[in-house]
Amino acid sequence: MAHIELRNITKTFGGHTALKKLNLEIEDGQFFVLLGETGAGKTTTLRLIAGLEKPTSGQILIDGVDVGDWGAAERDVALVLQQYSLYPRYTVRENLEFPLKSKIRRVPDDEIKERVGRAAKTLRIEHLLERKTDRLSGGEMQRVSIGRAIVRKPRVFLMDEPLSALDAKLRESLRTELKDLQRRLGATFLFVTHDQIEAMSMGDRVGVLNHGHLVQTGTPKEIYDNPRDTFVASFVGSPPMNLIKGSLVGGRAVISAKTFELPYEGLATSGADNRPLTFGIRPEDVVLESGAPVAAKVHDVENHGVEKIVTLRIDDTMLRATVPASTDVEIEQDVRFAWNPRKVALFDRNSGVSLRHAG
Amino acid sequence: MAAVTTSTERSLNRLAIVGVLIVTMIFLAPIYWIASTAFKPRNLSTTIPPTVVFTPEVSPFVKLFTKRSQLRTPPTPEEYAAAPWWERMVFDGGEKVVRDGKGNVQWSGYPSRFMNSLIVAIVSTILAVGMGTLTAYGFSRFKVKGEGDLLFFILSTRMLPPVVVAIPMFLMYRAVGLNDTHLGLIILYTAFNLSFSVWLMKGFMDEIPKEYEEAALVDGYTRMQAFFKVVLPEAATGIAATAVFCFITAWNEYAFALIMTNRRAQTAPPFIPSQVGSGLPDWTVIAAGTLLFLLPVAIFTFLLRNHLLRGVTFGAIRK
Ligand SMILES: Nc1ncnc2c1ncn2[C@@H]1O[C@H](COP(=O)(O)OP(=O)(O)OP(=O)(O)O)[C@@H](O)[C@H]1O
Ligand SMILES: [Mg+2]
């Protein structure tokens, strides 16, 4: 198992910068999730750590050793890709044996057999061992790919959206299985995804990547409660945080164009008064009450089973609120709402950075 | 959908089958002609209209493999009775088999020409496909400086008809002593086929996801091992298709073989028609030689047919 550190990694492809001054540290035995939109540079980060790509500048350290000059084979990492990681001509067993048959590992035959058996049992693919891999379902293939990684006891597991090709139900069950597996093995995982639910539910720590910049790292709770900027705020959480323009006047949040105003009781931030701001409020911190200070019309209602997501319209400002499913609301109904004044986040409107993080 | 066929669909299907049969017969007609002539008695080989019904005989093949001369006087009955069955066939044709001083039958030039053809075609195919595969892999997987220009240059070697350079090539070959050698023809055919092989293999290599090798690299294999263990098996289809095309080109090549070789390294294509010129042409012998000449390509193609079917439709495979 290992400790991974990226120092000031920059990677350019021709004129295009895929990663810019990336600093990242993954503790031994940690489940680290790298979250980002498509094209953010997630795969590139994994390929750099695996040694399939060389950084334009910066250092990669595994257990404190600079591995810049090491080839992929020497780094002893395992990589699980979204697709294409199984050899179509081989059976499942041959695929699982493949990494163990490498000359640099020299695993004796009976140990190969035993390790493959153990991995197959862990992943519940014992009945598939003699099957050709092109006869497997997507979920089975993904299990075999993961199996190919765990037979090896690598120093770190790198996983590139291994679940994104699967249907929702399978994804959920494999998510739990993977997390279990990681705990049992005590392994270091770097898991890449564009799915914020995956990130929040699996990660010990989450790093949010935006256009090659690592915007924020922290525990899922830190990221959810205290997003560093409006990008993270709108990317993490479903439905996302409401972001509305306004300014702080005498301790009250005044929403632009004098649509409405509500109290603000967050951290006292010096110099927040009278400057263009973006207020962020999670939908669950918006409450509908008959006696609440602001009037709104119900624009839309989405029923999600245990809760409803209500979109409120105040002139032309939209605001989403989650309410219990038992609440009776109808479209175009007149309602009144308030927010939890302690949960309001302030972002600088120009830079998008949270005032709390800007310090 | 397929289960429900209307009667019009069925009759359309039948019509299509008839059409295919007719076209196939047109294509097979020359082959039938050669094959039937190869088994005809000599006097039936040039009749008009062509003889269709006849008793097949193997005398053309006997004549093909032996050196013969005209009989001035017919063989004595004792001579005839003492001769083995195949020699009698030669006697029946008004010829006799040439024997050396010790009485050993002299072979004709055909078997050695056939061997030359095999040697030259097989070796040049292996070379062209081998080098083509490695080159294509390099172009497909690595950043090569001036890749487009280099690939165009490789292709451009096919833009002139090769015969244009025949005379200078002949002079060069003679100067370095390569004319009438196997090596000379092998180099020539490898050079012809290489550009074709590189381009075809590049297409196949591009089709193989590079993730396969990368997975192998991460799993602890060197690039070389990954190439042999993962890429080559995936490229087998393409290699088979390329090999068939290269083999056919080398096997059938006529012009250079005619110019560059005359005896030791001569291949079958220039040899077979050269037999037409001596005396009255015996078309049955020429047909027999041609028929045998067709076999290796047919066998080779047949052996690789499964790969070929997938290879020729490449692009449609996988994904
Ligand atoms: N080999 C390459 N050549 C040129 N550009 C590349 C190459 N690989 C990646 N890029 C570019 O670098 C950026 C980051 O790519 P990367 O594959 O890391 O994104 P990603 O976060 O994994 O996205 P996705 O979620 O779609 O997989 C993209 O803009 C991509 O176009
Ligand atoms: Mg990716």
Whichever domain contains A75, its CATH number is: 3.40.50.300
B215/A85 touch (CB, cutoff 8 Å), yes or no = yes
Q: Considering only residues B45 and B319, tell me which one the structure prediction assigns the higher pLDDT.
A: B45
If you average pLDDT over every residue of chain B, what do you get?
A: 87
Compute the 3-state secondary structure of chain B and give helix, strand, coil in percent, each to the nearest 5.
Answer: 70, 5, 30
User: What lines the ligand 1 site, CB under 6 Å?
Assistant: A 13, 16, 18, 36, 38-44, 194
d(CA A225, CA A162): 27
Q: From the CA of A210, which ligand is nearest?
A: 1
Q: How many Å lie between the centroid of ligand 1 and the Cα of residue A54?
A: 14
Same-domain pairing of B154 and B238:
yes
**A132 touches A90 (CB < 8 A):** yes
Q: Is residue B187 part of a domain?
A: yes
Same-domain pairing of A55 and A163:
yes
Same-domain pairing of A294 and A178:
no
d(CA A341, CA A253): 9
d(CA B108, CA B68): 8
- Give residue B278's pLDDT: 54
- Give residue B316's pLDDT: 44
Q: Considering only residues A171 and B134, tell me which one the structure prediction assigns the higher pLDDT.
A: B134
Instruction: Provide the 3-class DSSP secondary structure of residue B219.
Output: coil
Same-domain pairing of B28 and B147:
no
d(CA B225, CA B233): 12
Query: Which one of A235, A259, A284 terminates a domain?
Result: A235
Q: Is residue A359 part of a domain?
A: no
Q: Is residue A356 part of a domain?
A: no
- Give residue A271's pLDDT: 67
- Give residue B313's pLDDT: 54
Query: What number of CA atoms fall less than 13 Å from residue B212's CA on the CB side?
Result: 23
- Give residue B319's pLDDT: 37
Is the four-CA dihedral A209, A215, A219, A224 of positive or negative sign?
Answer: negative
d(CA A59, CA A8): 7
- Give residue B48's pLDDT: 84
- Give residue B135's pLDDT: 95
Q: Domain containing A88: what range?
A: 4-235
Residue B77 pLDDT greater than 90, yes or no:
no
d(CA A128, CA A184): 23
Q: Domain containing B16: what range?
A: 7-37
Same-domain pairing of A144 and A253:
no
Same-domain pairing of A230 and A272:
no
Return all residues near B314 (Cβ < 8 A) that are at least 6 apart. B203, B204, B207, B237, B238, B241
The residue of chain A nearest to residue B219, with distances taken between CA atoms, is A99
**B116 touches B179 (CB < 8 A):** no
CA A261 to chain centre: 34
Cα dihedral value B225, B227, B231, B235, nearest 10: -120
Q: Is residue B118 part of a domain?
A: yes
CATH number at residue A260: 2.40.50.140
Residue B277 pLDDT greater than 60, yes or no:
no
- Give residue B176's pLDDT: 94
How far is CA B102 from each of CA B75, B98, B106, B112, rounded to the nearest angstrom?
A: 20, 11, 11, 21
Same-domain pairing of B32 and B115:
no
Provide the number of structural domains found in chain B.
2
The residue of chain B nearest to residue A88, with distances taken between CA atoms, is B234
* pLDDT tens sequence across A271-327: 677 788 999 999 999 999 988 889 999 999 999 888 999 999 988 889 999 999 888
Identify which of B211, B222, B234 has the shortest CB distance to residue A73: B222
Same-domain pairing of A155 and A34:
yes
**A132 touches A91 (CB < 8 A):** yes
Q: Is residue B136 part of a domain?
A: yes
* pLDDT tens sequence across B149-188: 999 998 888 888 888 888 999 999 999 999 899 999 999 9
Apex A129 CA angle, A124 and A131, nearest 5: 120
- Give residue B55's pLDDT: 83
Same-domain pairing of A221 and A115:
yes
Same-domain pairing of B33 and B114:
no
Spans of chain A below 70 pLDDT: 1, 84, 257-258, 268-271, 358-359
CATH number at residue B222: 1.10.3720.10
Q: Is residue B46 part of a domain?
A: no
Identify which of A51, A71, A102 has the shortest CB distance to residue B219: A102
End-to-end CA distance of chain B: 24
Q: Considering only residues B36 and B276, tell me which one the structure prediction assigns the higher pLDDT.
A: B36
For A98-102, A191-195, B103-107, B235-239, which range has the lowest pLDDT when averaged over its residues?
B103-107
Q: Is residue B197 part of a domain?
A: yes
d(CA A108, CA A101): 9
* Segment B92-104 mean pLDDT: 81
Preferred mutation among A52, A53, A148, A155 to probe B, highest tally of B CBs within 10 A: A52
Return all residues near A317 (Cβ < 8 A) that are at least 6 apart. A244, A255, A259, A260
A72/B215 touch (CB, cutoff 8 Å), yes or no = no
* DSSP bridge partners of A338: A287
- Give residue B21's pLDDT: 96
Q: Is residue B223 part of a domain?
A: yes
Q: How many Å lie between the centroid of ligand 1 and the Cα of residue A62?
A: 23
Is the four-CA dihedral B1, B6, B10, B15 of positive or negative sign?
Answer: negative
* DSSP bridge partners of A159: A80, A191
* DSSP bridge partners of A7: A59
Q: Is residue B80 part of a domain?
A: no
Going through chain B in order, the beta strands assigned E by DSSP cover 68-70, 95-97
Q: How many Å lie between the centroid of ligand 1 and the Cα of residue B5?
A: 49
For A149-158, B53-62, B69-78, which range has the lowest pLDDT when averaged over its residues?
B69-78
Same-domain pairing of B242 and B151:
yes
Same-domain pairing of A40 and A131:
yes
How far is CA A35 from each of CA A29, A198, B309, rounded to the nearest angstrom?
A: 19, 9, 44
Residue B279 pLDDT greater than 70, yes or no:
no
Q: Is residue B227 part of a domain?
A: yes
The residue of chain A nearest to residue B226, with distances taken between CA atoms, is A102
Q: Is residue A21 part of a domain?
A: yes
Is the four-CA dihedral A189, A190, A196, A200 of positive or negative sign?
Answer: positive
